[in-house]
Amino acid sequence: MLNSTLYYTLLTRNFSKSLEGAASDTVAKRETAYYEANIGKVKSIDDFMKNQRLYTYVLKAYGLSDMAYAKGLIRKVLTSDPSDSGSLASTLSSGRYKALATAYNFSVKGAETTISADTQKTTTDNYVEQTLETNVGKQNEGAKMALYFKRVAPTLKSAYGVLADKTLLSVVQTAFGLSTSMSNQNIDLQAKTINGLFKISDLQNPAKLQKLIQRFTANYDLQHPSSASTTPSSALQVSTPDISQSLLTSLANLKLGGS
């Protein structure tokens, strides 16, 4: 059985291979091809909102699939100026809205919004990472959370960014044994607690970020002993072709040790 620690370790040992595996997912491959062939044809916010496939693809890429139904809100986000600290995109608690508005800034860039090669590449790369996390989550929620933290945590500017994101907060609470009841406290007190545990700037240090994630997965596995995958998923098999099935089985039977 692969617990979250082993699953995450295998996935990230050669992360580019894991992403290649996610990119080869049938649905991901088809939707990415559609996006690349059609996004440049979008010249306005109306064009974008009317094309459900492009709209869904982009929102998933920016981690906003759960808000796809709120088209009125998304339209306002995409027509606000993310460089303005008082704009809707900037004031919403999740930084995902600002990232979306920065990439697809129809209010500032107009018809030029969708033809940027950098924007298109960032979107497709994000989509593949989201696909990997989704597929991993079907096997092990802890490994999915670890991948999410690895991707999002380095973008944080303050402890309030942790508090504004349910998954990030859950990772930190699990890693440091914090009670979920802390969310009932004054938000400034919550931020002070997090700042007392680690520096937000440490999340931009790969080694320190990795240590925090390892701490999370170890504690997650202790709290969820029955959550391990019973068999390596197809995503894992695709993304780690250099790892034999016998080695996977041996790893699955190992007990964690060390610090």
* Domain CATH code at residue 31: 1.10.3700.10
For residue 169, tell me if it sits in a domain: no
Q: Is residue 50 part of a domain?
A: yes
Domain presence at residue 150: no
Strand runs labelled E in 133-250: none
Question: Are the C-beta atoms of residues 75 and 100 closer than 8 Å to each other?
Answer: no
- Domain-embedded: residue 127: yes
115-169 pLDDT, tens digit per residue, is 989 999 999 999 999 999 999 999 999 999 999 999 999 988 899 989 988 999 9
Q: How far is CA 259 from CA 170, 188, 212, in A?
A: 22, 32, 12
Cα torsion through 98, 100, 104, 105, rounded to 10:
-10
Average model confidence (pLDDT) for the chain? Answer: 86
pTM of the predicted protein model: 0.80
3 inside domain: no
DSSP-based three-state secondary structure for 2: strand
CA distances, 186 to each of 156, 166, 189 (Å): 20, 17, 5
Q: Rounded to an integer, what distance in angstroms lies between the CA atom of residue 5 and that of residue 34?
A: 35
Distance CA 25, CA 21 (A): 7
pLDDT, tens digit (0-9, with 9 covering 90-100), for 62-108: 999 989 999 999 999 998 888 888 888 878 867 788 899 999 988 88
For residue range 2-17, what is the model confidence (pLDDT) as tens digits?
Answer: 899 999 999 999 999 9
Q: What is the pLDDT of residue 243?
A: 40
Q: Is the pLDDT reported for residue 235 higher than 90? A: no
Lowest mean pLDDT among 12-26, 96-110, 210-224, 232-246: 232-246
In a domain, 222, yes or no: no
Do 18 and 235 meet the contact criterion of CB atoms below 8 Å apart?
A: yes
What is the total count of domains within the chain?
Answer: 1
Q: How far from chain centre, in Å, is Cα 178?
A: 22
The answer as to whether 149 is a domain residue is no
Output the six-digit token pair for 77.
Answer: 């986000």
Q: What is the pLDDT of residue 256?
A: 37
The reported pLDDT for the residue numbered 228 is: 62
Amino acid at 10: L
What percentage of residues in the chain have a pLDDT greater than 90?
Answer: 69
Structure-token match 């960032």, residue found? 122
Q: Which domain holds residue 35?
A: 15-139
**Residue 159 placed within a domain:** no
